[in-house]
Structure 1
Amino acid sequence: MMLSPQLHKILAVAFFLLPLCVQGKLAGFLPSFPFKPFFGGRSNSAEEQQIPDLTALAGNEHGDPIHQLEYRISRLEGVLRLNKMITESGGKIFATNGKKADFDGTVEKCKEAGGSIATPKSPGENDAILYFVKYFNTYAYLGIKQSLIPGRFQLLNGAQLSYTNWYSNEPSGKGEEECVEMYTDGTWNDKKCNKNHLIVCQF
Structure 2
Amino acid sequence: MLSPSLFHKIFGAAFFLLTCYAQGNLAGIPSVPDFTHLPEDGVDEGFLPGIYFPSFVDNEMEDIILQLEYQISRLEGVLRLEGKITASGGKIFATNGKAADFYTTVQKCKQAGGSIATPRNQGENAAILYFVKQFNKYAYLGIKESLIPGKFHSLNGAELNYTNWYLREPSGKGKEECVEMYTDGTWNDKKCNQNHLIVCQF
TM norm. shorter chain > 0.5 = yes
Report the alpha carbon displacement of residue 37 of structure 1 after superposing the two structures with TM: 5.8
Deviations 1:152-202 (A, max 9, x none): 111111111100000011001121000000000000000000111111000
1:181 is aligned to 2:180: yes
Deviations 1:60-90 (A, max 9, x none): x9x8101111111111101100000000000
Question: Which runs of 4 or more aligned residues in structure 1 lie more than 4 Å from their structure 2 counterparts after TM superposition?
Answer: none
Matches within 5 A, 1:1-203: 4-25=4-25, 27-28=26-27, 31-33=28-30, 35=31, 38=34, 64-203=63-202
Deviations 1:118-144 (A, max 9, x none): 000100000000000000000000000
Which amino acid is 1:16 matched to? F
Q: What TM-score, normalized by structure 2, do the two folds share?
A: 0.82
Deviations 1:16-65 (A, max 9, x none): 0113322454x33xx443x46638xxxxxxxxxxxxxx9xxxxxx9x810
Aligned residue pairs, count: 177
Which amino acid is 1:149 matched to? I
Distance change in 2, residues 1:112/1:36 (3 Å): closer
Report the alpha carbon displacement of residue 12 of structure 1 after superposing the two structures with TM: 1.0
Structure 1, unaligned runs of 5 or more = 40-53, 55-60
Which amino acid is 2:63 matched to? D
Which amino acid is 1:88 matched to? A
Identity in percent: 71
Structure 2, unaligned runs of 5 or more = 36-50, 52-59
Q: CA RMSD in A?
A: 2.1
